[in-house]
Amino acid sequence: MDSLLITISGPAGSGKSHCASKLAELYGIPCHSVGSIFRTMASERGLSVEEFSRLAERDPTIDQELDRRTSEIASKGGQIIEGRLVSFFSKSFPNTLRFYLMAPFEERVKRIATREGIPFDVAEVRTRMREESERQRYKSLYNIDIDDLSVYDFVINTSKWDKESVVLLLKEIIDLYLKTSSKE
């Protein structure tokens, strides 16, 4: 585990944060969230995530700073990083497992509404706006198509299982990787 980098990507409400934090606990390794860094940066400026996302559309230094911090963390290995683009930026790092978690849009919105204690229709509008903003920014800044899943080692639909079962599935994959990679 000392050198293994685990990245967990996917859209909002897919279960990235939960899985990343639970896996970090299970393996006793650090966990970092690009979304948490982004929310902290928004809060420091007194902006909502949606307002900060719109600002980031006009100010590429916001994403560049996030990416710099993420790459610096990822280069150390022995940890889990969750975020939308972390798997794209870690393509050149050896000994990396890249997971993409997904779920149908309505399921993700339901999870977000529950998590944030807001009505479903509000969560739906916010999620659509946020995802479109991110899609445009990532395409404009990096020419990354976030719908291109070829960078990932595993793509998992988290609506098929409960949260803890998804964590166990990821753990089984990681354990198998560790077992088989140590024999090479």
The answer to whether 156 touches 98, Cβ cutoff 8 Å, is no
At 182 the pLDDT is 66
Q: Which of 112, 133, 124, 122 is nearest to 53 (CA)?
A: 133
Higher pLDDT, 168 or 50: 168
At 14 the pLDDT is 95
Average pLDDT, the chain: 90
pLDDT > 90? residue 122 = yes
CA 6 to chain centre: 11
At 7 the pLDDT is 94
Average pLDDT over residues 147-173: 95
Q: Cα separation of 57 and 173, whole Å? A: 36
Computed over its alpha carbons, how large is the radius of gyration of the chain?
16
Average pLDDT over residues 165-183: 91
At 74 the pLDDT is 82
At 183 the pLDDT is 59
CA 75 to chain centre: 17
pLDDT in tens, 124-135: 999 998 898 888
The pTM of this model reads: 0.86
Q: Which CATH class is domain 5-178?
A: alpha beta
